[in-house]
Chains A and B, each alone.
Chain A
Amino acid sequence: MTAFIIYKALMCIGVFVLCLAAAAYSTLWERKFAAFLQDRKGPSRAGWGGILQPLADGVKMFMKEEIIPNVSNRSLFILGPCLFMVTAVITSSVIPWAKPVMINGQVYDLQITDINIGVIYLLGVASIGVYGIMIGGWASNNKFALLGAVRASSQMISYEIPMGIALIALIISSGGSLSLKEIVEGQDAGFANFIWQPLGFLIFFICALAETNRAPFDLPECETELVGGYHTEYSSMKLGLYLFAEYINMFISSAIIATMYFGGYNFPFAAELYDKLGLADGSVWISLIGFGVLIAKIFGFVCLFMWIRWTLPRFRYDQLMNLGWKTLLPLSLFNLALTIVIEYFRGNIHF
């Protein structure tokens, strides 16, 4: 029992640290990547090639003056960023990071918890994430912050629907399990889900962009219209938490896309490779290689997120709503119907 608690605690701490480190270095990579796309060099002063820039940014954020507006709702004002951060981090608990490891005859899952409603848990936590923004924007008692918060919540609620429907189609075609671990295991031997769900993947990806408030869906914080959006009144580390949580969200969204549609820690001809290397099931090396593959996939998607951000202009609000309700929703329903028909003829669905 003690061993189990220690193992789970280590998993939690490990994943937490991974999320924070990934988010910290996403901020640096975002700036670097943007610089490369714009023929610049990006931050290069702090440490070798700018490697200590996230640290410098963090120190700067902590040193800034903390301002809580007099007219704000103090407790909610503090709760907002905390909630946003917490929801961003706890999403990572159902992601399987690598194949289980066998140590001293004991099998350890490299996943914090493998709940059988993992997908629903993801959607649930993602929708709680809206509250962080909504509460923060509302408690600021500022027009711009409120507008940003309203935009954010309506956007996130709108895009959750096509996202959920795309996931239903995915679950139907991947065998009906809601456990992320089983979804990943089902994508073994190179048959990643996006081959069966290309449209679903596209819809899910667009919705993931909207859910993480990334460009071209960054209306909640568009500087040109809303000063800073929902975090206009925030300063110091509370602002830091908001900005940081967005990068965690991006990292986790990429992880979810990689897990759901691109096979997670699986990769084509994995079994043959392990055979050649003479690795038995449960070997630490298999887990490490799988983890590396997953991280590489996540990095690819993070780059795609950034690439899109530095290419496309922002949507207008009505375009955003039109895309969500008039295009993505019917498209996802069509995708669902198509999936049901295809799976019926493949013999995976029985009425």
Chain B
Amino acid sequence: MQLTNRKVVVSKKEQSFAEKLYLPAIAKGMMITASHLFKKSPTINYPEQKRPIAPVFRGQHVLKRDENGAERCTSCGMCAVACPAEAITMTSGERKKGEEHLYREEKYAATYEIDMLRCIFCGLCEEACPKEAIFLTDRLVDTEFERRDFIYGKDKLVEKIDQRIDVTKRQTPEVLAFKKIPGLKHNELFDKKLDKGNKH
């Protein structure tokens, strides 16, 4: 049975005089390399030139604040559950009186760590987040010399009040609408978790 027509029958026929000289073959090869002299190099001079990235590029995460500057994250743990690489860990804290300007709801993330070496930048945390708190941005994770430096805490993840990070390209109305659809797996999970919380 013949699957492809790429089959070639090898023949070991005697070389002709021109082939034995090798010089025509060498000339042919040298013409091929010479033709590359005039081709444009595809190199991008990295620090000066950068490859264009997609508007929805998934880079380093950001923990958003709301319009009043309070952290949106309520430490529900949905992102950690959704994370296939188990890169996210957090501990919860309870908001005290007078901290309303810091945390939007009564529960907040006392610590929030993402291991950037484990993270696969899939964006599932963002998809799972019910509070629109975590987003992936078009920033690249910096290189470090130590493994422990890749574990980003809240100091690196939470956006600064005076340096807000624009995520409108990722937070489109379509995305918001998608997150509200009842019956989708992540929404269901969230509902269940809420139910569980109510029971206790």
Contact = CB atoms under 8 A, between A and B. Distances in A.
B27 to A, nearest CB: 10
A272 to B, nearest CB: 32
B26 interface: yes
A39 B39 contact: yes
Contact of A307 (B34, B41, B43): B34
Contact of B45 (A35, A38, A44, A311): A44
Contacts of A310: 33
B7 interface: no
A312 B26 contact: yes
A308 to B, nearest CB: 7
A41 B26 CA distance: 25
Contacts of A41: 41, 43, 45
Interface string A28-40: 0000000111111
A40 B41 contact: yes
Contacts of B32: 311
Interface string A292-332: 00000000000000011011100000000000000000000
A37 B33 contact: yes
Given A307-B30, A308-B30, A40 B37 contact: no
Interface string B1-30: 000000000000000000000000010011
Contacts of A38: 36
Contacts of B37: 36-37
Q: Interface size for chain A: under 10, 10 to 19, 20 to 34, or 35 or more residues?
A: 10 to 19
B42 A39 contact: yes
Contacts of B30: 307-308, 311
A311 B34 CA distance: 9
Interface size class of B (residues with CB under 8 A): 10 to 19
Contact of B29 (A36, A44, A312): A312
Contacts of B42: 39
Contact of A37 (B26, B36, B40): B36
Contacts of A36: 36-37, 41
Contacts of B39: 39
Contacts of A308: 30
Contact of A39 (B26, B29, B41): B41
Nearest to B37: A36
B150 to A, nearest CB: 28
Contacts of A35: 41
A75 to B, nearest CB: 43
Which of A35, A44, A312 has the most B CB atoms < 10 Å from its CB? A312
A44 B45 CA distance: 9
A37 B39 CA distance: 9
A177 B33 CA distance: 39
A310 B33 CA distance: 8
A311 B33 contact: yes
Given A40-B41, A41-B43, A311 B29 contact: yes
Contacts of B29: 311-312
Nearest to A202: B23
Nearest to A216: B26
Contacts of B34: 37, 307
B44 to A, nearest CB: 10
Contacts of A311: 26, 29-30, 32-33
Nearest to B35: A37
B42 to A, nearest CB: 6
Contacts of B26: 311-312
Contacts of B41: 35-36, 39-41
Nearest to B39: A39
A35 B37 CA distance: 9
B77 to A, nearest CB: 47
B86 to A, nearest CB: 40
Interface in B37-76: 37, 39-43, 45
A115 to B, nearest CB: 36
B36 A307 contact: no
A39 B42 CA distance: 7
Interface in A268-309: 307-308
Interface of B: 26, 29-30, 32-34, 36-37, 39-43, 45
Given A35-B41, A311-B29, 8 more contacts: A36-B36, A39-B39, A39-B40, A39-B42, A40-B41, A44-B45, A307-B34, A311-B33
For the complex of A and B, the 3 pairs showing the least CB-CB separation, nearest first, are A311-B33, A41-B43, A37-B33
17 contacts: A35-B41, A36-B36, A36-B41, A37-B34, A37-B36, A37-B37, A38-B36, A39-B41, A40-B43, A41-B41, A41-B45, A44-B45, A307-B33, A307-B34, A311-B29, A311-B30, A312-B26
